[in-house]
Structure 1
Amino acid sequence: MLRAASGIFPLMVRTAVGSHVRKLVSRPAALTLVRTMTEKVEQLNEFQKSKLKRKFFLYDIDDDGFVEREDYDNYIAKIKEAYDLSDDDPLLKAFEVEFESHWQQMLNFMDENADGQLSLEEWLHYYPNITANVHAKNQDNLPTFLLTMADTLFDLMDTKKDGVIDAEEYSEFWTKFDRRYPVDVATAKEHLAHLTENGKYDMDIYHYRAVYADYTWSDDPDTFGRYAYGPIVL
């Protein structure tokens, strides 16, 4: 069911067509939803939009313009193939659990028209929802499902299992998962220098959480978490 910002649930007419059920949303309610989503998206600057688009297109594995459950399943399959993981590998199992939680949370936050898939507009609308009413924008206040996702991504990137992500690991991960924007080792070193504030911090799991939180919340293109999800195209 649509969730309009006014808090009023729109009327829906259910019309049976053969074995299917078609849902028709009243025009005023639909216009209210579009207007509300547009207003929230307009609150974002170009950097924030670019970050969200980056994540959206990484998840939209089949490039159909929507993030669906099948995309999450395909993402898991991509991880399995890229890192040659067996079905019972603990890391793969952990990622499956976190992705399932992540998907359900995304639907709860984003799926405005309850169609089981997420459009780019819904994805962009999501950002103000998770940042609202949070005063201290740091890793301590990340929603649990995002914090655990950060930890799982770190574990996946840390192929050497030494507790620190280096340039080779960063390059390998983002090159495997987005061949549109491959990251060579030289570029990875530049990104890590930015992420660690020129070596002020090790890229361990604690700093990666801070990087992930900064990426989630910051509206500054020069912020230290800029490359948490690889290259950003503004």
Structure 2
Amino acid sequence: MAAHQLSDFQRNKILRVFNTFYDCNHDGVIEWDDFELAIKKICNLHSWPTDGKKHNEARATLKLIWDGLRKYADENEDEQVTKEEWLKMWAECVKSVEKGESLPEWLTKYMNFMFDVNDTSGDNIIDKHEYSTVYMSYGIPKSDCDAAFDTLSDGGKTMVTREIFARLWTEYFVSNDRGAKGNHLFGTLKL
């Protein structure tokens, strides 16, 4: 049976996330060291002390996510996920979601983790300032963050709750519709 093929649009979106959010040291592969860098970035951004409760929760969550990612994508079990392995995993994931299945558990955990990282006030809503602060720390310009948030929130008319975030998350990773709002979840999409 032939593997599901991602469109060029889907492929470019998925590689953008690989390069911007997962391969933190930009060496072309995802490995535990990238997650360590992400933990450090997030903890510094939120002023969470090393070995404090939030730091330890972030480490535990990202360890579960890393273990899940390895299980689904690290075909040769070398403790690294290459771009090829990443794309193959996503092709299968998109195929599964199109059949009505859920996102893999590790990705749902990552989605919830990213919501919590964005929702710094803890009010279960991501506002423009929270969103921009987090994504600017990954090198996305403030103007792109602000424009993307305006798209995601219908110009501030829609509150970005966990439920809305989950819908946008799935749209980003699965949709082939260039007009889908979820395409802007990680900053203004310029593909």
TM-score, normalised via structure 1 length: 0.72
- Identify the match of residue 144 of structure 1 among 84, 105, 109: 105
Residue type of the alignment partner of 1:207: I
Residue type of the alignment partner of 1:217: V
Shift of residue 51, structure 1, vs aligned partner? 1.6
Asked whether the equivalents of residues 29 and 83 of structure 2 are also in contact (C-alpha less than 8 Å), the reply is yes
Query: Match of 1:96?
Result: 59
Q: Which runs of 5+ in 1 are unaligned?
A: 6-35
Q: Which runs of 5+ in 2 are unaligned?
A: none
Asked whether the equivalents of residues 149 and 187 of structure 2 are also in contact (C-alpha less than 8 Å), the reply is no
Higher helix share: 2
Is residue 184 of structure 2 the alignment partner of residue 223 of structure 1? no
Is residue 12 of structure 2 the alignment partner of residue 55 of structure 1? no
Asked whether the equivalents of residues 152 and 182 of structure 2 are also in contact (C-alpha less than 8 Å), the reply is yes
CA distance in 2, matches of 1:91, 1:228: 24
CA shift in 2, pair 1:221/1:91, >3 Å: farther
Query: Match of 1:162?
Result: 123
Higher relative contact order, chain-length normalized (CA < 8 Å, sep 6+): 2
Shift of residue 200, structure 1, vs aligned partner? 5.3
Is residue 145 of structure 2 the alignment partner of residue 183 of structure 1? no
Asked whether the equivalents of residues 125 and 162 of structure 2 are also in contact (C-alpha less than 8 Å), the reply is yes
Shift of residue 112, structure 1, vs aligned partner? 2.1
Query: Match of 1:19?
Result: none
- Superposed, 1:179-218 pairs within 5 Å as 179=139, 181-184=140-143, 187-199=144-156, 201-218=158-175
For the aligned residue pairs, the C-alpha RMSD in angstroms reads: 2.2
Tell me the secondary structure at the aligned position of residue 163 of structure 2.
helix
Query: Match of 2:70?
Result: 107
Rg larger in structure: 1
Query: Match of 1:31?
Result: none
Identity of aligned residues (%): 27
Residue type of the alignment partner of 2:44: E
Asked whether the equivalents of residues 159 and 169 of structure 1 are also in contact (C-alpha less than 8 Å), the reply is yes
CA distance in 1, matches of 2:106, 2:126: 22
Residue type of the alignment partner of 1:220: D
Query: Match of 1:45?
Result: 7
Is residue 37 of structure 2 the alignment partner of residue 74 of structure 1? yes
Tell me the secondary structure at the aligned position of residue 125 of structure 1.
helix
